[in-house]
Structure 1
């Protein structure tokens, strides 16, 4: 028996449990569609699957996915860069952390959707609208996690860095980055989810191209099968984006205890 056998068994059990949960959800979906939802033409899993099979062969389907994902990734990139820079600037100074605490608490509680009418007037139904909404909503987890992580760096590490006369770049690379990355990745995973959510929401409410807009069109003409396909597509994209960041976290933080013990799953 190899040492990896117990962990392989645990992974196998988790996979079985997840598949069982999916089957239960599909079963409940089928029961609802055949029962209470029948009067409102609630689509069944089979009808949704047939509609999905027709849509995935069209260029429109993939074009809308590409548009939404591109908007989400552009907004996420801007939020990550801005959040890291602002978080570092706040985190290195106790006075800056104290003076910005109220602003951060206020900013992260303001829903970006509440600012949609203003941004719609400024940017119209364009990709810029989605990018700005993503920035306003996704930057806060990155800023907060980064500033907290930098502020929690051990004073002993700072003393050692000064004793060895490390340059600012070497302090950032060998002291700050390893200490803050475990916290930052938690903020990145939240920001990634928010970026996709806000991209689709901006398309749905603003009327720009993408999954959100075609979902709105399907609802307006009461095409529930098509609406369900795009809703499930959005959910699967969110899961895929989260898995990408989990994989990236495991590759970057392979040395950290949270990854070695499976905490990043």
Structure 2
């Protein structure tokens, strides 16, 4: 059977072509919708959105709001990691503690933090602290759960090796526990990073503090659909970039892990 030139192309070229075609189809559907059913509501076409994006990119306020949202997300994520990893280690180190806290963890991770916004708004007001606290109470759960699960899944053989060689607690943590748990912890970090950006923008949108969420709300209030669309896409792109950063960090730290060597980290 004769192979077509496309099938004979390298896998990287085929992936690039397939993704480019998917993007072109999506843009075509977007344009047709904007010119058709969405025309009455002022839905922008891809070309109009690109023009609005270029106009906003030339202003300092646009980049300032992006920086504010990213800083809030990273600050809340950092606090969630600093608090969540030690708690996860303590919970995962003892089977009885893990069983007794299971209900609390299940309850905590299912409570939407945005439902607590009115309470936190009364306490912290429309400030960055509001967003940081919302991120903390949202992003800490995947970090705790993945860390505790990772510690609980450490091979008993590794524990016996540590005791047999009389390794100190620090050396057991560094050379036995950490390499085994890091793949699980990175999964929790990637989930928490996505939640952090989402909650940062949501808190700005609903709470009224500076950032992408706030300017998105302003654009919607004056019915500026073109700018609202650009801000929404900017938030989506930030999410993709943040996830890519953690993927690259995971590959750098876990270069030795089979999932990374086989490309499973992406």
- Pairwise TM-score range, normalised by the shorter structure: over 0.9
Distance 2:233 2:209 in 1: 20
The residue that corresponds to 1:3 in the other structure is none
Distance 1:85 1:19 in 2: 44
Distance 1:68 1:124 in 2: 17
Distance 1:17 1:76 in 2: 35
Q: 1:20-76, CA deviations, whole angstroms, 9 ceiling, x for partnerless residues?
A: 222211111101000000111111111111111110010000000000000000001
Aligned residue runs from structure 1 range 89-238, under 5 A: 89-238=90-239
Distance 1:172 1:20 in 2: 48
The residue that corresponds to 1:5 in the other structure is none
Q: 1:176-226, CA deviations, whole angstroms, 9 ceiling, x for partnerless residues?
A: 100001111111111000000000000000000000000000000000000
The TM-score normalised by the length of structure 2 is 0.95
Deviation at 1:11, TM superposition (A): 3.2
Q: Structure 1's 79 and 9: CA in aligned 2 closer, same or farther, altered over 3 A?
A: farther
Aligned residue runs from structure 1 range 4-15, under 5 A: 9-15=10-16
Helix, strand or coil at the partner of 2:199: helix
Distance 1:259 1:117 in 2: 42
Instruction: Provide the alpha-carbon RMSD of the alignment.
Output: 1.0
Distance 2:197 2:190 in 1: 11
The residue that corresponds to 1:68 in the other structure is 69
The TM-score normalised by the length of structure 1 is 0.96
The residue that corresponds to 2:37 in the other structure is 36
Distance 1:236 1:36 in 2: 26
Distance 1:236 1:207 in 2: 22
Distance 1:238 1:244 in 2: 10
Confirm or deny that 1:21 pairs with 2:18: no
Deviation at 1:16, TM superposition (A): 2.5
The residue that corresponds to 1:49 in the other structure is 50
Distance 1:10 1:264 in 2: 18
Distance 1:146 1:133 in 2: 21
Confirm or deny that 1:260 pairs with 2:261: yes
Deviation at 1:14, TM superposition (A): 2.6
Deviation at 1:10, TM superposition (A): 2.9
Distance 1:21 1:173 in 2: 45
Helix, strand or coil at the partner of 1:36: coil
The residue that corresponds to 2:4 in the other structure is none
